[in-house]
């Protein structure tokens, strides 16, 4: 049910410049302060979606901070000494795993003495494999552990395709196009590092489990169990918080399924900015027919853009979906060329606006915009 990695942490004063607090961190939900008492536990999460889940379970007893700030890209994030300080002050650390936030391992290893639990929320879950369109999964019930077992050949073909894409990306960057449609606030990375990251992510499978609410429920249960182990005195509170939140997630799952049924089955076709939605698609009856950005660390090549344009025309989709951590230039170009609409959906990050300032709100917004764009 739960696995906890214990890693060496702490002793970071020599590593961290005094006073470099804030920086990239966003403070956790202030529920702990709203109750009038000080939180008993400090926790940190690799990204804002996990932060929100962990804060819901922790309630007033826990204060959770996120390492990747709201609106940032977890897949391209470059950690800083201030992040190490945040981790050293945490009594439990939550990460997604499956290659998404693997940079956290290096951050932890660079720390000093001491021991803290690091909870990899996706550990032992059966990941779907990537392919060039993101719809390599079948119609099996993913909650019975049957993910990703039928398309190994397609995955191998995608790896070959990915190497070709890397060359295209490199050529595009040599001509000075890397900032046109890339990531907002993204740091530059060497080509070897990009290739290694992309290859590793493909080896581990698609990490975006939480976009199926049933997997988010498993995350909540693992977070609850981790808190109880770290802070046994708060067990009753964590159990109660998790129970209430799980009931809310069950209601959310039902809402998404009901809304999805409003879209004719033949029209439930997704073209997304990056390959984050296969779990969402499989759980709620959609098919991902196209992905604009094959490698999150490089802009799409002209060939990839042309392929998406062809897919839009062939599949006759009325809309494509962007994400807030990416600039919309390429999507807008495709929309202008094919006369379709562009909608924003949320995957790896929360945003400040009410439409995506919590896990529940972002998932409701995702299905509502899918209905509006495809229905």
Digit-coded pLDDT (tens) for 231-277 = 999 999 999 999 999 999 999 999 999 999 999 999 999 999 999 99
Q: How far is Cα 268 from Cα 285, in angstroms, rounded to an integer?
A: 7
**Do the beta carbons of residue 69 and residue 48 sit within 8 Å?**
yes
Count: domains in the chain: 2
The two tokens of residue 203 are: 């080896």
Quote the DSSP letter at residue 75: T
Residues 10 and 111 both lie in one domain: yes
Measure the CA dihedral 160/165/168/170, to 10°: -100
Q: 294 lies in which domain range?
A: 142-189+264-374
> What integer is the mean pLDDT of 275-289?
97
- Give the CATH number, domain containing residue 58: 3.40.50.1980
pLDDT band at 109 (very low <50, low <70, confident <90, very high): confident
- Position 160 in a domain: yes
- Position 176 in a domain: yes
Residues 284 and 179 both lie in one domain: yes
**Do the beta carbons of residue 90 and residue 40 sit within 8 Å?**
no
Report the largest interatomic distance among the alpha carbons of the chain, rounded to a whole angstrom. Answer: 60
The predicted-structure confidence for 183-233, as pLDDT tens digits, reads as follows: 443 333 333 444 444 444 457 899 999 999 999 999 999 999 999 999 999
Q: Which residues contact 129 (CB under 8 A, 6 or more apart)?
A: 136, 137, 148, 151, 152, 154, 155, 158, 202, 205, 206
Residue with tokens 């896990």: 359
- Position 199 in a domain: no
Domain end point (choices 199, 225, 253): 253
Cα–Cα nearest to 53, from 204, 274, 227: 227
Cα–Cα nearest to 325, from 112, 70, 31: 70
pLDDT band at 114 (very low <50, low <70, confident <90, very high): low
Q: How far is Cα 117 from Cα 275, in angstroms, rounded to an integer?
A: 30
Give the pLDDT confidence score for residue 112 in this predicted structure: 53
Mean pLDDT lowest for which of 83-87, 280-284, 319-323?
Answer: 83-87
Q: Quick one: what percent of the chain has pLDDT higher than 90?
A: 58
Pairing state between β 115-120 and 4-8: antiparallel
- Position 135 in a domain: no
The predicted-structure confidence for 345-355, as pLDDT tens digits, reads as follows: 999 999 999 99
Residues 72 and 184 both lie in one domain: no
């Amino acid at each position: 049910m739960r696995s906890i990695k214990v890693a060496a942490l702490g002793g970071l004063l020599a590593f961290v410049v005094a006073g470099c607090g804030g920086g990239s961190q966003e403070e956790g939900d202030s529920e702990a302060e709203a109750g009038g008492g000080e939180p008993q536990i400090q926790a940190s999460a690799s990204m804002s979606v996990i932060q929100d889940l962990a804060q819901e379970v922790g309630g007033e007893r826990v204060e959770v901070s996120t390492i990747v700030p709201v609106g940032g890209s977890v897949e391209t994030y470059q950690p800083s000494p201030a992040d190490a300080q945040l981790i050293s002050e945490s009594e439990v650390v939550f990460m997604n795993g499956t290659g998404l936030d693997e940079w956290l391992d290096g951050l932890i290893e660079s720390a000093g003495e001491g021991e803290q639990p690091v909870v990899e929320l996706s550990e032992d879950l059966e990941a779907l494999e990537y392919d060039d369109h993101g719809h390599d999964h079948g119609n099996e019930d993913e909650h019975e552990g049957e993910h990703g077992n039928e398309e190994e050949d397609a995955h191998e073909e995608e790896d070959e395709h990915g190497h070709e894409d890397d060359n295209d990306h490199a050529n595009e960057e040599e001509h000075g196009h890397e900032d046109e449609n890339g990531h907002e606030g993204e740091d530059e990375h060497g080509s070897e590092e990009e290739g290694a990251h992309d290859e590793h992510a493909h080896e581990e499978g698609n990490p975006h489990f939480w976009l199926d609410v049933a997997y988010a429920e498993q995350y909540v249960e693992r977070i609850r169990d981790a808190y109880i182990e770290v802070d046994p005195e708060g067990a009753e509170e964590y159990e109660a918080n998790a129970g209430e939140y799980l009931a809310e997630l069950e209601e959310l799952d039902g809402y998404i399924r009901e809304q999805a049924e409003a879209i004719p089955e033949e029209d439930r076709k997704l073209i997304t900015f990056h390959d984050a939605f296969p779990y969402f698609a499989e759980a709620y009856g959609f098919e991902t027919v196209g992905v604009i950005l094959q490698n999150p660390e490089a802009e799409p090549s002209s060939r990839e853009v042309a392929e998406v344009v062809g897919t839009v025309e062939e599949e006759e989709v009325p809309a494509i979906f962007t994400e807030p951590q990416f600039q919309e230039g390429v999507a807008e170009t495709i929309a202008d060329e094919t006369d379709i609409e562009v909608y924003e959906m949320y995957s790896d990050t929360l945003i400040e606006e009410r439409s995506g300032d919590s896990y529940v709100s972002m998932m409701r917004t995702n299905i509502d915009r899918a209905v509006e764009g495809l229905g």
